[in-house]
Structure 1
């Protein structure tokens, strides 16, 4: 019976855990044995007794948990002591942050680990249930609005009282992916007046379906700005100038701006300049969801709330899903449970098919080497 180990997250600020009592029970039902390091789920309010009740074996420390494991489940890339405890050939599945955490990949390869980066799971129908980027971005978009509302010194919905009317907050979402859509939905539920922008024309309908207004220069170039595969085409300099002018005038009127644009393997694109920030009203708030990849907002600082000279707050909080640790862990653990099913053959033995399109896309280290084509130096 293949053994899965789940350990404490040892990277600073990580509160999530890679398995919950719910998924432990499912993993055991699927034919795995599960070992959980004591205290692994504590930061997400999952207690050891519940893991044991679900059928897991509780390990007193890291070495006991990992030493005999065939598979290690992590939220973030394992640290050196975890990698050193792995047996040769062990499988690791985690959000490895492969473009930034290259030292961890090299260490995993040197240890002989077979590592899968969950960020590389392809976005195909069969893999939707394994899509950690979507499950975590969904919560990040929600939490971004909550963080913004807390930092903003006023109410979000319009309120009509005997003492007068409180105007609704104006919220602008830049980037309409999974996080952006959830931010729109959350801000709308909280009563804000919401606008959003994206370079892909197909997102206009999604934005409007949530009750928000789409902001773009909608000329012929914009209407043809998407490839058949759903990706954005590069726009002309003339269009970019027109769009930039529209966005600039719009940002100046907003109370809250939330930016969500990320490009895998590259620094986050700059969406909000210092001039944009300077044009905003005192007390306005910007939340930069891309701060861990360099940021969409000029002046954003990782792990800090930057206060500008004109009284605008720029929130650069990392790991927003980790600020909703229980739900984020539950969704992530279900993603991993679905992924784990690909490791077993029809007889229930550990025999990953490395030609499977999902495993092939996510595989980053094997047989002592970094093997993913995007990561080879």
Structure 2
């Protein structure tokens, strides 16, 4: 079997598989083809792949002859047209935001596995790319905020006077939010955290942050490990609490997203009007609309002295480690669909394999996708 690694486009610096993982696939009798220069921006050059046993090929060769094709970002229609029927495409394909592309993949009889659709269960943690990459996002969000902020993060007492610590507000205590808490605390900030799930309070407090509770949240257990929408009454209570905290905040990190839907606007324009000049917001939900009323994806907006940074792909700013973690997640998933001899074995009785599969045998097979309404924003 031939496994092909594509070079990412549109500023994506990560690569799907690292030389270390390529070597392990070779030991399973899987032949690996790598598009020329695929790992260069992640600091894995072609020589490293060849030393691991891979062959360097053109994009056309990888697309037309590989049995399974690896990509992080969804391929363009132009690239997808070069994938032959019966082949497998595996990556973070964001199917809930690309219903037309999903329909095209099905019509071309391409089997697709989207790693952002893996069920968030204990057994699936070792292949959870959302978590491994969100960890990096939370870490880099705080560093980016600290770089953009005009004052110190920690408290300082000097002969020239005292400097108060930065007040950091984090909206969402998932993987990214928890890492943001830990990083902000290491830098000496005072941290407050909002989350719709009371169950995360203990984790937040264990990291030294204050958890701001809002009563009446919807039961998150129905979301299968993902965020769920809240009712209107809860949203009003939440906005009131956030407004009280955001007026005092120096730094705000927003992380709230709902799969297949635009990100909830947690920071309204009236809230922004209450923030002080010099405050910084880093919005990790920018690609799905953003958590603030003024967020623009991949842009920095300046409003009344406030800096609003929209960036949903901070893992690409740490491509070496991000690729290493992502590749390990991919390899752990591959062990579910490959035999020890490197042959393909799609066991759809496995809930992880079934949950990650989007299209197969010319049909859309993912139950969550079939029941979802098309999203109104794109990533």
The residue that corresponds to 1:113 in the other structure is 110
> Does the 8 Å CA contact 2:37/2:46 hold for their aligned counterparts?
yes
Output the aligned Cα RMSD.
Answer: 2.1
SS at match of 1:168: coil
- 1:92 and 2:86 are equivalent in the alignment: no
Instruction: Please show how residues 1-377 of structure 1 align to structure 2 within 5 Å.
Output: 2-10=1-9, 12-59=10-57, 61-217=58-214, 221=216, 227=221, 240-308=235-303, 310-345=304-339, 347-376=341-370
Aligned residues: 370
Q: TM-score w.r.t. structure 1 length? A: 0.92
SS at match of 1:277: helix
2-structure distance, mates of 1:166, 1:152: 14
Q: Which moved more, 1:347-356 or 1:39-48?
A: 347-356
2-structure distance, mates of 1:265, 1:6: 27
Q: Deviation of residue 168 (structure 1)?
A: 1.0
What runs of 5+ residues in structure 1 fail to find an aligned partner? none
Shift in alpha-carbon separation, 1:301–1:183, aligned structure 2, 3 A: same
Shift in alpha-carbon separation, 1:226–1:121, aligned structure 2, 3 A: closer
SS at match of 1:126: coil
Q: Deviation of residue 267 (structure 1)?
A: 0.9
Q: Deviation of residue 37 (structure 1)?
A: 0.7
1-structure distance, mates of 2:211, 2:85: 52
> Does the 8 Å CA contact 1:225/1:232 hold for their aligned counterparts?
no
Q: Deviation of residue 375 (structure 1)?
A: 2.9
1-structure distance, mates of 2:225, 2:350: 24
The residue that corresponds to 2:376 in the other structure is none
Q: Which moved more, 1:115-124 or 1:61-70?
A: 61-70
> Does the 8 Å CA contact 2:227/2:259 hold for their aligned counterparts?
no
SS at match of 1:202: helix
2-structure distance, mates of 1:92, 1:21: 20
Q: Deviation of residue 13 (structure 1)?
A: 2.0
Q: TM-score w.r.t. structure 2 length? A: 0.92
> Does the 8 Å CA contact 1:157/1:192 hold for their aligned counterparts?
yes
1-structure distance, mates of 2:156, 2:309: 26
2-structure distance, mates of 1:231, 1:344: 28
Q: Which moved more, 1:240-249 or 1:327-336?
A: 240-249
> Does the 8 Å CA contact 1:83/1:111 hold for their aligned counterparts?
no
Shift in alpha-carbon separation, 1:188–1:15, aligned structure 2, 3 A: same
SS at match of 2:198: coil
Shift in alpha-carbon separation, 1:240–1:264, aligned structure 2, 3 A: closer
2-structure distance, mates of 1:373, 1:200: 25
Q: Which moved more, 1:234-243 or 1:77-86?
A: 234-243
Q: Deviation of residue 127 (structure 1)?
A: 1.4
> Does the 8 Å CA contact 1:145/1:183 hold for their aligned counterparts?
yes
> Does the 8 Å CA contact 2:357/2:365 hold for their aligned counterparts?
yes
Q: Which moved more, 1:287-296 or 1:240-249?
A: 240-249
1-structure distance, mates of 2:288, 2:229: 21
Q: Deviation of residue 245 (structure 1)?
A: 2.5
Q: Deviation of residue 33 (structure 1)?
A: 1.3
Q: Deviation of residue 318 (structure 1)?
A: 3.3
Q: Deviation of residue 101 (structure 1)?
A: 2.2
> Does the 8 Å CA contact 2:106/2:363 hold for their aligned counterparts?
yes
What runs of 5+ residues in structure 2 fail to find an aligned partner? 374-379
